Amino acid sequence: MNSVTASLPANLYLRNLSLADLDQVDKLESQAFSENERASREKIAYRLRNCADICFGLFQTCDDPNAEILVGHTLSTKTNSFFITDQAMEMPELDPVTHTPVSEQEKLGHLPTGPTVALHSLAVAKNFRKQGLAQVLMKYTAEAISSDNATTRNRADRISIIVHGELVPFYQHLGYKDNGPSKCAHGGEKWNDMWLEL
């Protein structure tokens, strides 16, 4: 991953997200996506609790050494399907105390042993766009999941995404293959299925 991070300015760094980042992730998600496309705060919290090992943040350092500003993120879950499905976009009913799924039979949201990383969100703050940081985040995510250093928890065979048609060339430039119109109807929108074999 050094090849990816080497291109970053000295005041930017990448790391796994955690539940402590919830406020900043929720704020950036609401700035980057329309209301019907964005992940709800509840869904973001679910992803950060259950699969933070495949959710990454790009941060800017501040004058205060205890503070950092989130400037980009990727949010993902794992799924058993090759492409992202409506079920992969959802979350299961959770126990209010443990925040874990009430039923293991319910095949919604994060399925830890799934071979596919369903990348749900790539967001970059407006004042950091057009600087190649979205590419850095996507490359970092792919390397972290496919790396020899990847753990069993975060290793996967592929990354699948759903994208609007006008973004297909951006992802093709990163090596993703376009499978055409998706069956996933997240947010009532039309999407293309794309994937990257790892």
The string of pLDDT tens digits covering residues 98-128 is: 766 656 656 777 777 889 999 999 999 999 9
The string of pLDDT tens digits covering residues 3-50 is: 677 678 888 999 999 999 999 999 999 999 988 889 999 999 999 998
pTM of the model: 0.88
DSSP 8-state symbol, 94: B
CATH class of the domain defined by 2-197:
alpha beta
Give residue limits of the domains in the chain.
Answer: 2-197
The stretch 68-79 carries a mean pLDDT of 94
CA pair distance 16, 89, nearest whole angstrom:
20
For residues 128 and 94, the model is more confident at 128
